[in-house]
Amino acid sequence: MKPAPNSLRLGPDERGHFGIYGGRFVAETLMPLILDLERAYEEAKQDPAFAAEMRDLQAHYAGRPSPLYFAERLTEHLRGAKIYLKREELNHTGSHKINNVLGQILLARRMGKKRIIAETGAGQHGVATATACARFGLECVVYMGAVDVERQKPNVFRMNLLGAKVVPVQSGSRTLKDAMNEALRDWVTNVENTFYCIGTVAGPHPYPAMVRDFQSIIGIETREQMQAAEGRLPDSLVACIGGGSNAMGLFHPFLDDPSIEIYGVEAAGHGIKTGQHAASIAGGRPGVLHGNRTYLLMDDNGQIKDAHSISAGLDYPGIGPEHAWLNDMGRVKFLSATDDEALQAFQLLCTLEGIIPALEPAHALAKVIELAPQKPNDHLMVVNLSGRGDKDIFTVADHLGGMK
Amino acid sequence: MTARIDARFKALREEGRAGLVTFTTAGDPDYDTSLAVVQALPQAGADLIEIGVPFTDPMADGPAIQAAGQRALKAGQTLKKTLALVESFRKSDAATPIILMGYYNPIYVYGVDRFLRDAKAAGVDGLIVVDLPPEEDEELCLPALKAGLAFIRLATPTTDDKRLPTVLQNTGGFVYYVSITGITGSAIPDTAKVIAAVSRIKHHTKLPIAVGFGVKTAEHARAIAEGADAVVVGSALVEAVRTSLDPQGRATAETIKAVTDLVASLASGVRAARRVAAE
Ligand SMILES: Cc1ncc(COP(=O)(O)O)c(C=O)c1O
């Protein structure tokens, strides 16, 4: 579809701005690299061979399309909207992260880069990157906060098996934001041969737009699948927000359908009021970090605050700039779910549908539990089930007082 | 007020030597000590002073300057207090140029116009904001120029001849050549390459060129000073602060002397250089 002139899907402008958000706030050393990347991506977008290679990998390596599944028992339980799950957890490597990684790795190959670096929180983006690097014989270094290395052990082991080097980051709060700092430091140092594979719709332009484009397959498939299942488009969309890539992937193809309600769910941690959360829209304000202007958690002096979430993948004090813009426009409504709400939703999906979700999309499910009962029975609600929960079972067991 | 910077480089040219630019972090390990350090710098041999504005997420800095920023933040340093520090320094020194170096977010949150007004009033001469490339000049660079502050830009090994004019366009005071691709304090620069890069940049600008990142000893400083108009030393100085602290991380009787001794030694290195490319 070609967007109309007043479309919400035209952004960013040529300098990477979504309204006042986005931009290219990076050190001079990186600026030429970012301009190179932008050029290479624009060329790849025009190249049918690139698109063909992507389609082939998505179908035969990642296992796309992912199913759109009618969650019958969850629907019966909540007695409201008809709930569909977009099963991104069934992708190879267990989350939506592979969609973006395959795109960026193909791009890195086109650019002749032999060394790939990535940051990871939950480890899902790290695992996806390590996987694609193994598939294409590329060196892979993954930066991961030391706290996350501890709480997402299974993914660290997976990355090691896949031949990646995992570097535990000891600086700052030792979580995702610090991993991103360290990846940027690596990139500034190894400019010649290194490609930085960012895992979400954040960072300097062109990353937010590029990652969104690679993730948009989620929403594009959902449109077709819902048409096939129900003969019409959905009425609402719900997704969790770390940096916002799984959410943007689902939302973007629907932004110009004004009747569709769109909900992003941030992590409220111990509760927004406690200050211990990762909800940058609910509890932050505009600032500049990691190459873009967006909503950030910070103090009155502009120092970035540590985020908190039970979910390592949502434990980030910022949000992609396009989400910030859509929030200000009122097009996407941002809600938040606490650690406890996410844990309850996690268990509900396990027992009602036989699906163990990752803790990240459990936040989206937590708000579905609130929203769905308020809707009529013919309301079609799609939740992005962005990842599977194998990586989280130890964390959940800890919180529920041990395995019984 | 690029006047102070211009006057200082003119004086250095007349003396026929390169300058020494020191970097220390405001508030490290506490406000009073960092002020005393800065006050002692000119006497010890610093020709220009860069003051680091602490930020929680210093993406272009290595472990030494990261740690200095964390010590300062822990001691309660803020941008407001950093401006107060400059104001105090100016009471006893009207000539040494002061350049604030840091990241954009604290300035953005303080408010650009308010910051420029307060910085100017405090006696700041120039700004280096690591995460504001020319592509974002409207944010702070252009307003700073209008307010009479120099916006000093970093040129790096990745800034090729095609890009240099863009980088130099709104630069004032001097050009800061980052001698390595990397973060502060990491590799030791290859002197011959650095001197070649400086002469490449000289083809594009009449501004003085300071070289930094990785300079640690008097001998490095001497070697770099043979080709550059000034040598910047940062990580080595904040390391001198760190090693002087007591086990609780507090300043000791040695702290100021640790910095000034190193500055004196670096200054002697810079002054010993036989300058190959004086102009
Ligand atoms: C399964 C899963 N969902 C969501 C996220 C959050 O990232 P984003 O908001 O970019 O989708 C992560 C991040 O690690 C994840 O692993």
Give B185→chain A minimum CA distance, Å: 12
Cα angle A289, A294, A299 (rounded to 5 degrees) comes to 65
A313 lines ligand 1 (CB under 6 A): yes
Region A230-257: mean pLDDT is: 98
Q: pLDDT for A103-144, tens place per residue?
A: 999 999 999 999 999 999 989 999 999 999 999 999 999 999
Q: In the prediction, which pLDDT does B231 show?
A: 97
Active site residue A311: no
How far apart (Å, rounded) are the C-alpha atoms in residues A169 and A149? 9
DSSP labels, B102-127 = E-HHHHHHH-HHHHHHHHHHHT--EE
- Residues of B recognised as catalytic: 50, 61
Q: Do A184 and B59 touch (CB under 8 A)?
A: yes
Cα angle A246, A248, A253 (rounded to 5 degrees) comes to 120
Give B44→chain A minimum CA distance, Å: 31
Q: In the prediction, which pLDDT does A1 show?
A: 55
A129 lines ligand 1 (CB under 6 A): no
**Amino acid symbol at A345:** A
Q: Do A27 and B154 touch (CB under 8 A)?
A: yes
Terminus-to-terminus CA distance in chain A, angstroms?
A: 51
Q: pLDDT for B171-180, tens place per residue?
A: 999 999 998 8
Q: Residue A202 CA: which ligand 1 atom is closest?
A: 10
How far apart (Å, rounded) are the C-alpha atoms in residues B257 and A41? 53
pTM: 0.97
* Structure token digits, residue B30: 């506490």
Q: Do A24 and B133 touch (CB under 8 A)?
A: yes
Q: How many CB atoms lie within 10 A of CB B273?
A: 18
Instruction: State the SS3 of A96-143.
Output: CHHHHHHHHHHHHHHCCCCEEEEEECCCHHHHHHHHHHHHHCCEEEEE
Q: In the prediction, which pLDDT does B276 show?
A: 60
Tell how strand A21-25 and strand A17-18 pair up: antiparallel
A304 lines ligand 1 (CB under 6 A): no
Q: pLDDT for A373-392, tens place per residue?
A: 999 999 999 999 999 999 99
Under 8 Å between Cβ of A295 and A302: no
Q: pLDDT for A59-86, tens place per residue?
A: 999 999 999 999 999 999 999 999 999 9
Q: In the prediction, which pLDDT does A103 show?
A: 98
Task: Give the pLDDT band (50/70/90) at residue A200.
Answer: very high
Q: In the prediction, which pLDDT does B279 show?
A: 44
Q: How many CB atoms lie within 10 A of CB A289?
A: 28
* Structure token digits, residue A33: 């690299």
Q: In the prediction, which pLDDT does B93 show?
A: 98
The residues, any chain, with a CB within 8 Å of residue A147's CB and separated by 6 or more, are A173, A174, A175, A312
Q: Structural domains in chain B?
A: 2-271 (3.20.20.70)
Q: In the prediction, which pLDDT does B57 show?
A: 96
Q: In the prediction, which pLDDT does B225 show?
A: 95
Taking the CA atoms of A134, A138, A143 and A146 in sequence, report the sign of the dihedral they define: positive
Under 8 Å between Cβ of B189 and B180: yes
Which residue in chain B is spatially nearest to A294 when comparing CA positions? Answer: B105
Q: In the prediction, which pLDDT does B85 show?
A: 98
Which candidate in B135, B139, B159, B179 is best for mutational testing of the A interface (most A CBs within 10 A)?
Answer: B135
Q: How many CB atoms lie within 10 A of CB A377?
A: 9
Q: pLDDT for A270-320, tens place per residue?
A: 999 999 999 999 999 999 999 999 999 999 999 999 999 999 999 999 999
Using the predicted structure, report yes or no on whether residue B147 has a pLDDT greater than 50: yes
Under 8 Å between Cβ of A260 and A235: yes
Residue the block writes with tokens 């990871």:
A120
- A21-25 β-sheet, strand order: A17-18, A21-25, A291-296, A285-289
Residue B96: closest CA among B120, B118, B116, B125: B125
* Structure token digits, residue A390: 């194998």
How far apart (Å, rounded) are the C-alpha atoms in residues A213 and A359? 25
Q: Do A290 and B186 touch (CB under 8 A)?
A: no
Task: Give the pLDDT band (50/70/90) at residue B278.
Answer: very low
Q: In chain A, which residues have their Cβ closer than 8 Å to the Cβ of B156?
A: 27-29
Region A236-240: mean pLDDT is: 99
